[in-house]
Amino acid sequence: MKLQPQSYLAEHTVRSWLLTHDHKRIGILYLLTIIVFFAIASVAAALMRIELVTPQGDLVTSETYNKLFTIHGVLMVWFFLIPSIPAVLGNFILPMMLGARDVAFPRLNLLSWYIFIAGGVLALWSLIHGGVDTGWTFYTPYSSTYSNSHVISMAAGVFVAGFSSIITGMNFMVTVHKMRAPGLRWFRLPLLVWSLYATSLIMVLATPVLAITLALMSVERVWGVGIFDPKIGGDPVLFQHLFWFYSHPAVYIMILPGMGVVSELITCFSRRRIFGYGYVAAASMAIAVLGFVVWGHHMFVAGQSVYSGMMFSILSYMVSIPSAIKVFNWTATLHKGSISFATPMLYALGFIGLFTIGGLTGLFLAALAVDVHVTDTYFVVAHFHYIMVGGMVMAFMGGLHYWWPKITGRMYPEFAGKLAAMITFIGFNLTFFPQFILGYLGMPRRYHAYPPEFQFFHILSTAGASILGVGYLLPFLYFLWSLKWGRVASGNPWEATGLEWQTPSPPPTHNFEKTPVVTREPYAYDAVTGKEEPQEGLMQQTSAV
Amino acid sequence: MDSATDTVLAEQFDEIEQQHSADTLGMWIFLATEVMFFGGLFAGYAVYRFSFPHVFYAASHHLDVLAGAIDTAVLLCSSLTMAFAVRAVRLGQRWMSILLLGVTAVFGAGFLVIHGFEYHHEWTEHLVPGGSFAFEGADPHRAQMFFWLYFATTGLHSLHVLIGVALMLVLAVLVLLEKITAARFMTVEIAGLYWHFVDVVWVFLFPLYYLAGAR
């Protein structure tokens, strides 16, 4: 047997992990970290759902409830969703998809993880010392003047963690520009690369605005006066403008990478080329760019002028165009494909359905008049959970199953995987669909007590959340199980295209023994057999030499 | 490939040109994030200056235009020495590089000293927003906004200058220890990009704050 280069997992010392420059190991460090944050934020969510079983506020006080939804929001947004696909799967897969040995700046990549940890420690410190009750949005003047909780340390945690996503974004952009294998032109890039590039653009250009906004809010809190302070002519709504200038694009940080993963899964498990490659790629960029000009739709009732409201409404509608292009193109890709329902595919199909519901209800919210009715109700909560959990988390789970053999060299148990995907899908819908109805009937968000007529839907939602919990716990258990007892995976268990599958599982430290040469577009599945097409281009090139 | 470039080339890159262009692009992207970082403060300035222009006009008279002009001159000179420093490092002129990096650091420190005196002056004049703020004019409450923005923006800028000065000193020591040689000029080139950026930010701050009230 030919001597294989050592797997990237070969070294076992703690030091070899904590000082690693390997993008694959850093991806795993991120994975372990965000699982912790996901668990804490899930406990907060569970407590809220249990509280909401009865109309009276009997389990926790309203103050505790405020702290619960704040910690849930802050941790899920900044410490789980934003790093989920980019920093975990992106770190692991992106350089391999490009045929590169590593990202452009491996040391900065490791630094980004340490910065992330530092931000997480600050956030946990505020949690342990009593929490924060402002909600994840930190609206002034409550956050800057009136709240008696640990706003500054929590904001500092988010501020610091932001720099880790800036570094990741910068690293990805430079890597995509400068580290592509020979022949890997822009329009031969896998769609995950396009969507991670679009995501990086947002991370790099939007995150610093969040940083300065939180810094200004904190300085105002410490100093006693500030630019959001009406006493000196300041406008608290300016905070909302600056905050959403970041946070709306950040919503696309939390969906674009998911779209990229789904493009990989749909093509592989229907054995077809993507329908309209250029449109799907361009749609990612369009969503990223449009995302910067729609922030005002969070402020339709915040007192902005009706004309800006109209502009923001129209611009928000425009985002639906590239989003719909993606959904239609995935569906068209399935058409006449030989579809197999492996676990990652179940997650991907679930993603398409849930993202469509989330996206369409987004149009309700972008319509000025309807938004006035449903602002700050459970309708909004349901809408963004359909995008973030139904979209991004489903895609993350699908991607994790898909690349698990590459990451660990082991297969997960397929039956358990399918079961978990179904349970997640059912549990998710049962949790969040009733919330659309609740919101439409007028149940406001962020309340721990409510009129008794809403109880039925709240009980449905809590029941769904328990099922959803099982859906997340199950993969956690069988992934751990598979590390030791899972079937050993081959280099390319899905017979997928893509450079990452040309490496052994798990890959060696520098991924490729020889830099691969790319001669064709991605997803070159043969229309008849569904197998990867033979590399005609490569042979031509060899004969030309 | 000669042995000098061989040790410089990081393992993830194939060629030195690829590494250099990646380093440069990375720094430019970082500078884009810095533009957005300062952008929040510029947005705040724009909003409030349009909301109450007369207050900004009146408040601006309380800043020392001469000191601001000297600040500007000092920083522009430092950018010149920085540009020469990059050239000296590329040409392998060790002592010249150390000298120019040192002069750049001195200019930066000089800027901070002048600005420190300005801050002290404004403190004694009760121009720092908060309880002790005193301003003789039509709208003293809103005048605080001008000074709040002034202190926040120039403070953030001075922090950047301070980091730059530290960076120059570290680079000078690295050149002295021959950790940075002509083959590793990129480190200095990239630090230079940062320094020029800090300089350019000031070029915007000077007219926005010091000259807003000029006739």
> Which DSSP string corresponds to A286-346?
HHHHHGGG-GGGG-TTTT--HHHHHHHHHHHHHHHHHHHHHHHHHHHHHTT------HHHH
Closest Cα partner for B143 from B62, B65, B70? B62
Residue B49 lies in a domain: yes
Q: How far is CA A509 from the centre of its chain?
A: 26
How many domains does chain B divide into? 1
Domain CATH code at residue B129 = 1.20.120.80
* Partner-chain residue, chosen from B22, B29, B38, that has the shortest CB–CB distance to A204: B29
Written out in words, the top-level CATH class of the domain with range A25-536 is: mainly alpha
> What pLDDT does A3 receive?
58
Instruction: Inspect the interface and report whether the beta carbons of B37 and A233 lie closer than 8 Å.
Output: no
Give the separation between CA A367 and CA A165, rounded to whole angstroms: 32
Straight-line distance from the first to the last Cα atom of chain B, in angstroms, rounded to the nearest whole number: 61
Instruction: Inspect the interface and report whether the beta carbons of B38 and A102 lie closer than 8 Å.
Output: no
Give the separation between CA A259 and CA A330, rounded to whole angstroms: 10
Helix axis angle, A343-366 to A306-334, nearest 10°: 160
Q: How far is CA A240 from CA A217, A315, A364, A518, in A?
A: 11, 18, 21, 47
> Does an H or E element contain B77, and which?
helix B65-90
Give the separation between CA A52 and CA A234, rounded to whole angstroms: 38
> What pLDDT does B7 receive?
66
Give the separation between CA A39 and CA A44, rounded to whole angstroms: 9
> What pLDDT does A6 receive?
87
Can you read off the two tokens belonging to residue A60? 């926790």
β-sheet bridge partners, residue A508 = A7
Residue B94 lies in a domain: yes
> What pLDDT does B190 receive?
96
User: Tokens 């300089």 sit at which residue?
Assistant: B199
> What pLDDT does A540 receive?
40
Minimum Cα–Cα distance from B9: chain A residue: A104
Give the separation between CA A165 and CA A169, rounded to whole angstroms: 6
How many CB pairs below 8 Å do chains A and B form together?
113
Give the separation between CA B73 and CA B81, rounded to whole angstroms: 13
Helices assigned H by DSSP within A77-180? 82-83, 91-97, 106-128, 151-178
Minimum Cα–Cα distance from B129: chain A residue: A225
Residue A511 near residue A94, CB atoms below 8 Å: no
Residue B8 lies in a domain: no
Does residue B125 come out as left (phi exceeding 0), alpha (psi in the -120 to 50 range) or beta?
alpha
Instruction: Inspect the interface and report whether the beta carbons of A233 and B41 lie closer than 8 Å.
Output: no
> What pLDDT does B141 receive?
85
Residue B3 lies in a domain: no
Q: Which of the 8 DSSP states describes residue A513?
A: S
Can you give the pLDDT of all 545 residues of chain A as single tens digits? 455 678 999 988 999 999 999 999 999 999 999 999 999 999 999 999 999 999 999 999 999 999 999 999 999 999 999 999 999 999 999 999 999 999 999 999 999 999 999 999 999 999 999 999 999 999 999 999 899 889 999 999 999 999 999 999 999 999 999 999 999 999 999 999 999 999 999 999 999 999 999 999 999 999 988 999 988 889 999 999 999 999 999 999 999 999 999 999 999 999 999 999 999 999 999 999 999 999 999 999 998 899 999 999 999 999 999 999 999 999 999 999 999 999 999 999 999 999 999 999 999 999 999 999 999 999 999 999 999 999 999 999 999 999 999 999 999 999 999 999 999 999 999 999 999 999 999 999 999 999 999 999 999 999 999 999 999 999 999 999 999 999 999 999 999 999 999 999 999 999 998 899 999 889 999 877 778 876 654 444 443 33
Give yes or no for residue B112 having a pLDDT over 90.
yes
> What pLDDT does A545 receive?
34
Residue B215 lies in a domain: no
Can you read off the two tokens belonging to residue A11? 């070294």
Range of the domain at B181: 15-210
Q: How far is CA A408 from CA A83, A103, A488, in A?
A: 20, 20, 9
β-sheet bridge partners, residue A525 = A532
* Partner-chain residue, chosen from A104, A241, A242, that has the shortest CB–CB distance to B22: A104
Instruction: Inspect the interface and report whether the beta carbons of B29 and A238 lie closer than 8 Å.
Output: no
Instruction: Inspect the interface and report whether the beta carbons of A515 and B14 lie closer than 8 Å.
Output: yes
Indicate the residue type of A409: G
Selected for mutation to probe chain A from B49, B148, B150, B186 (highest A CB count within 10 Å) is B148
Q: Give A 188-227 residues with CB within 8 A of chain B.
A: 204-209, 211-213, 216, 219, 223-227
Q: Output b/e per residue, A440-469; b: 16+ Cβ within 10 A.
A: beebebeebebeeebeebbebbbbbbebbb
Residue B5 lies in a domain: no
Instruction: Inspect the interface and report whether the beta carbons of A232 and B145 lie closer than 8 Å.
Output: yes
Mean pLDDT within B189-194: 97
> What pLDDT does A132 receive?
94
Chain B positions in Cβ-Cβ contact with residue A234 (cut-off 8 Å):
48, 145
β-sheet bridge partners, residue A488 = A410
> Does an H or E element contain B87, and which?
helix B65-90
Selected for mutation to probe chain B from A140, A145, A176, A212 (highest B CB count within 10 Å) is A212
Residues 6 or more apart whose Cβ sits within 8 Å of residue A44: A68, A69, A71, A72, A75
Chain B positions in Cβ-Cβ contact with residue A103 (cut-off 8 Å):
12
Chain A positions in Cβ-Cβ contact with residue B51 (cut-off 8 Å):
233, 235
Helix axis angle, A23-51 to A62-74, nearest 10°: 160
Residue B40 near residue A212, CB atoms below 8 Å: yes
Chain B positions in Cβ-Cβ contact with residue A211 (cut-off 8 Å):
37
Residue B4 lies in a domain: no
Chain B positions in Cβ-Cβ contact with residue A170 (cut-off 8 Å):
26, 29-30, 33
Instruction: Inspect the interface and report whether the beta carbons of A233 and B40 lie closer than 8 Å.
Output: no
Give the separation between CA B105 and CA A338, rounded to whole angstroms: 66
Minimum Cα–Cα distance from A100: chain B residue: B12
Closest Cα partner for A519 from A501, A534, A504? A534
ipTM of the complex in this document: 0.93
* Partner-chain residue, chosen from B12, B21, B33, that has the shortest CB–CB distance to A101: B12
Radius of gyration of chain B (CA): 21
Say whether A458 sits in a helix, a strand or coil.
helix
> Does an H or E element contain A70, and which?
helix A62-74
* Partner-chain residue, chosen from A104, A242, A515, that has the shortest CB–CB distance to B26: A104
Name the minimum distance, in Å, from the CA of A352 to any CA of chain B: 33
Residues 6 or more apart whose Cβ sits within 8 Å of residue A22: A8, A102, A106, A509
User: Tokens 């009715």 sit at which residue?
Assistant: A373
Name the minimum distance, in Å, from the CA of B146 to any CA of chain A: 9
> What pLDDT does A1 receive?
45
Q: Tell the burial category of A105 from Cβ atoms under 10 Å away from its Cβ (0-12, 13-18, 19+).
A: buried
